[in-house]
A and B are shown apart, each in its own frame.
Chain A
Amino acid sequence: MIGITSLTFLVSHVIPADPARAAAGLDAREEQVKRMREIMGLDRPLYEQYVLYLMALARGDLGISARSMRPVREEIGRFFPATAELVLLALLLAAALGIPLGVASAIHRGRPMDRIIQGLVLTGMALPTFWLALLLQLVFFRYLGLFPAEGRLDFWVPTPPRISGLYVVDSALTGNWPTLVSTIQHIMLPAWTLSLTALPNFARITHRSVASILAEDYVRTARSKGLTERTVLYRHVLRNAAVPIITIGGLQTGWLLSGTVVVEVVFSWPGMGRYAVEAISFLDFQTIMGIALVMALVFLAINLVVDALYVAVDPRVRNRE
């Protein structure tokens, strides 16, 4: 953590621009820029700024955003759950479709079904997210009227009381059904868009993993013992193929978390991606540091979860430990 905080602090402070001038505005007089520099603590020596930053961090204080003048912790607390909710659903959708498609193509390797799935996967990989997002908006909002095109919630339904920050969870926990319905409707198009960027990877890795397990001697032995194909698949193949799929799941979670910008902008989703871009373009370095720190923590947490899943699904890992 010391490494992460040092790195983010240093990188944020060597950017060739003056955040105080940017915050004060184009026509600000020098004394206004100076005042802004004092407000932002930039008038102090760098080492002092770093020590103050660490002390504040120890209190859970991520500083004040120069752009919004609000506490960064408060803003991240609002934007992160929006992204987390979106990424979790996108991951679920990608896995729910991608893994079965990968299994099916591996089982039917070299046959028309395999070719069709591989073709779909390649097409999915080639689709630009921006284009896909607009296409889904046009079809499902503009022409079919099935889903809303933007935002997290209809403005005429109440925002759920804040428990986890995940609207789906909070509105379900508080029994706020109109809000729950509105939340689910709003999350669908961005989640589908995001999931379609992750789905091909799930399908490809599952295909490779299952295909290589199918070629193993113990699978041949299981078949020669007279076990049905389904038993072979469920008992011998899928369990052994799970480790690479979990790995790609972890990687995809990280990738989705850091790759939500386009989806969040097109669907006006108030998440971390949009927040990060706005902070970077404004050189809001307290916010940039806060985002980098939180994302680093999330990546650590994802790795821990992935390791725990390895232990859970693979007895070899368990026994080695």
Chain B
Amino acid sequence: METRGKRIFKAAALGGVVFLVFTLFGAYPGTGRAAPDTSTFVVLTRNQPRALDPAIGSDYPHRKIFVAVYEPLVEHKLGTADAENLQGALAESWSISPDGLKYTFRLRRGVRFHDGTTLDAEDVVVSFDRMRKINLGYSYILTPVREVRAVGAMAVEISLTQLTPGFLLGLPLIQIVSADAVRKNEREGDLAQGWFRRNEAGTGPYTVTEFVIGERIVLERFGEYWRGSSGCHLSRMVFRVVPEAVTQRVLIEGGEGDWADSIESDDLVAMAKSPKFIVTSEPTWYLSYLMMNTKRPPLDNKLVRRALRYAFPYRRLIFDAMRGRGIVPRGLIPPNFPGWGGPEEVTDLSATRRLLQQAGFSGPAKLDLIYFTPFAFNRAGAELLDANLRNLGIQLELRGLPFPTMLDLMTNPDPLKRPHLSYFASTPEYADPDDLVFKTFSSRSPHWSRIGYSNAEVDRFVDAARRTTDQIQRAELYRNAVRIINDDSPAIYTVVRLTDHVFSSRVQGWVYHPPFGGGAIPYYNLCLR
């Protein structure tokens, strides 16, 4: 007779075998091969937005969703970024007062929000006021706003405290939400921030139907979209969170994705050769650079800074480490941006040696360089620079850090305790030189002033440019500022990134839209073959 223990063991063993067989062969073949719905556009993305609130989010994960869900008053024509190509989105037309301090927008009639309400002036007023009160995200664009008020049911007047020539160019980043949704979902004066974490109330061509934290966001086509839905459009979009680049590649190769946003350079080069994929390579506004601490010796001497600029191996970084997935910068202005041009940055170690001699640099010196750990190209760039400088008596001490720690080091109240070199990147949000030159180089902006750069002459030119609407005069003033900055060399501009989108070959209608940068794409004209 069997003992109890034996019976239990047998049952467990049998259960184990059944389980193993089930796990190994139970799944039906072909699973996970393809979505059953061929009109569904599947996005494999590294990150999710933290909220669906346009008053909070301003980075790529947010913009990726926002451009499908929300709309601004004005927008750029597809593929453009300049002021001449602005067109009305929710605004039908607009006018600017002669003194440049009042903007009046006449709103488009019959525009529906996803919550069923219709656009009117109150929605615009509430959206702008809400954004200014929350004071996060893109609210800095509204800094010069004195008041936003309705002038009739379908017109809004925005008055400014000071002349802001680039104001209109920043407005495509200010999204309009339903005032009704804000009112209904406000809790304890939170301006409905709690509700907007997982919900939206925009007018865009797509509406969020599912938001599973850490997993996916599903968007469906909005049937009452004011531009209509004739022609070929996507009916559904699914944003799946796939943080690992290799997994993104495996999935898109297996037919489980239509757009992968984080494939590594090596894989991009290989995939570009396959007819199954479309790999995009448009130059973006994303400029990677090494900020130099202009207060800390020996980098307080601009000759040393210029010497380091000549020592950077631009081509080796781009063509060897990045497999060609970037372009050599031409100073601080990115491509397709007002003022772009001039000679490419060059590597010239004899110039470095000569400039160091002129600066009276006798060496040896040890400089510390920090970079954001996950950015492999930054590490590669830092290592290549280190290799070039070692022969010249300069040694770099490289430290990969988490972003908050980097920020903390760079904002040390004592400039002499801030790092010598910090690897960073900037992407202007809109194509006005002010968003680049003021934000980055003015001593009144928190950006580079953190590491000590300030030049009264630059401030003077930039401030003057901010006070005039004469575009020719503005351009001249910015050119002067850029010339001085170039001479001061507060940074080594290392690479301009290309768009790294990989689409499956069934995707049609993709157009590079510079204001969206490398993070988002215009969805309305997309279509699946």
Which among A20-28, A51-59, A120-128, A244-252 touches the partner chain? A20-28
Across the interface, which residues of B come within 8 angstroms of A93, CB to CB?
19-20, 23
Q: Is B148 an interface residue, CB under 8 A from the partner?
A: no
Which residues between 16 and 57 of chain B lie within 8 Å of chain A, taking CB atoms?
16, 19-20, 23, 26-27, 29-33, 35-37, 40, 42, 50-51, 56
Across the interface, which residues of B come within 8 angstroms of A290, CB to CB?
none
Residue of B with least CB distance to A187: B23
Which among A3-11, A150-158, A210-218, A300-308 touches the partner chain? A150-158
Q: Is B447 an interface residue, CB under 8 A from the partner?
A: yes
Which among B101-109, B243-251, B309-317, B357-365 touches the partner chain? B243-251
Residue of A with least CB distance to B447: A27
Which residues between 378 and 415 of chain B lie within 8 Å of chain A, taking CB atoms?
402-405, 407-408, 411
Which among B208-216, B338-346, B488-496 touches the partner chain? B208-216
Known contacts A27-B446, A188-B27; A154/B50 CB under 8 A:
no
Q: Is A138 an interface residue, CB under 8 A from the partner?
A: yes
Which residues between 15 and 72 of chain A lie within 8 Å of chain B, taking CB atoms?
16-19, 21-22, 24-32, 35-36, 67-70
Structural contact, B5 and A234, CB atoms closer than 8 A: yes
Which among A105-113, A169-177, A278-286, A291-299 touches the partner chain? A278-286
Across the interface, which residues of A come within 8 angstroms of B246, CB to CB?
134, 266
A53 to B404, CA, bound (A): 22
Structural contact, B446 and A151, CB atoms closer than 8 A: no
Structural contact, A137 and B19, CB atoms closer than 8 A: no
A148 to B215, CA, bound (A): 14
Rounded to whole Å, the gap between the CB of A35 and the closest CB of chain B is 6
Kindly state the interface size class of chain A when it binds its partner.
35 or more
Structural contact, A146 and B3, CB atoms closer than 8 A: no
Contact flags B55-81 to A (C-beta < 8 A → 1, else 0): 010110000000000000000000000
Contact flags B196-225 to A (C-beta < 8 A → 1, else 0): 010000000000001011111010000000
Q: Is B120 an interface residue, CB under 8 A from the partner?
A: no
Which residues between 207 and 254 of chain A lie within 8 Å of chain B, taking CB atoms?
230-231, 234-235, 238-239
Find A148's partner among B32, B403, B424 (CB 8 Å cutoff).
B32
Which among B170-178, B234-242, B281-289 touches the partner chain? B234-242
Which residues between 476 and 505 of chain B lie within 8 Å of chain A, taking CB atoms?
none
Structural contact, A69 and B56, CB atoms closer than 8 A: yes
Across the interface, which residues of A come within 8 angstroms of B27, CB to CB?
146-147, 181, 184-185, 188
Structural contact, A138 and B405, CB atoms closer than 8 A: no
Structural contact, A266 and B247, CB atoms closer than 8 A: yes
Known contacts A18-B407, A239-B5; A155/B35 CB under 8 A:
yes
Structural contact, A100 and B37, CB atoms closer than 8 A: no
Number of A-B residue pairs, CB cutoff 8 Å, is 183
Structural contact, B197 and A26, CB atoms closer than 8 A: no
A95 to B55, CA, bound (A): 50
A270 to B446, CA, bound (A): 36
Residue of B with least CB distance to A20: B404
Rounded to whole Å, the gap between the CB of A279 and the closest CB of chain B is 11
A73 to B240, CA, bound (A): 23
Structural contact, A274 and B214, CB atoms closer than 8 A: yes
Residue of A with least CB distance to B8: A234
A21 to B214, CA, bound (A): 24
Known contacts A79-B214, A146-B27; A22/B447 CB under 8 A:
no
A108 to B328, CA, bound (A): 66
Known contacts A100-B13, A188-B27; A24/B136 CB under 8 A:
yes
Known contacts A78-B214, A184-B26; A151/B6 CB under 8 A:
no
A151 to B439, CA, bound (A): 40
Q: Is B375 an interface residue, CB under 8 A from the partner?
A: no
Structural contact, A155 and B238, CB atoms closer than 8 A: yes
Across the interface, which residues of B come within 8 angstroms of A282, CB to CB?
402-404
Q: Which of A92, A234, A267 has the most CB of B within 10 A?
A: A234
Rounded to whole Å, the gap between the CB of B94 and the closest CB of chain A is 27
Across the interface, which residues of A come within 8 angstroms of B256, CB to CB?
148-149
Across the interface, which residues of A come within 8 angstroms of B254, CB to CB?
141-142, 145, 149
Rounded to whole Å, the gap between the CB of B218 and the closest CB of chain A is 7
Rounded to whole Å, the gap between the CB of A70 and the closest CB of chain B is 6
Known contacts A148-B31, A151-B240; A32/B136 CB under 8 A:
yes
Across the interface, which residues of B come within 8 angstroms of A30, CB to CB?
446
Across the interface, which residues of A come within 8 angstroms of B240, CB to CB?
150-151, 155, 268
Structural contact, B23 and A78, CB atoms closer than 8 A: no
Known contacts A27-B446, A31-B135, A275-B214; A146/B31 CB under 8 A:
yes
Across the interface, which residues of A come within 8 angstroms of B405, CB to CB?
16-17, 283
Across the interface, which residues of B come within 8 angstroms of A281, CB to CB?
373-374, 402-403
Rounded to whole Å, the gap between the CB of A176 and the closest CB of chain B is 16
Residue of B with least CB distance to A267: B247
Can you report 11 A-B residue pairs in the complex whose CB atoms are below 8 A from each other? Answer: A24-B136, A26-B447, A35-B136, A79-B213, A96-B16, A137-B247, A150-B251, A156-B35, A184-B26, A192-B23, A281-B403
**Interface of A with B (CB < 8 Å)?**
16-19, 21-22, 24-32, 35-36, 67-70, 75, 78-79, 92-93, 96-97, 100, 134, 137-138, 141-142, 144-156, 159, 181, 184-185, 188, 191-192, 230-231, 234-235, 238-239, 265-268, 270, 274-275, 280-283
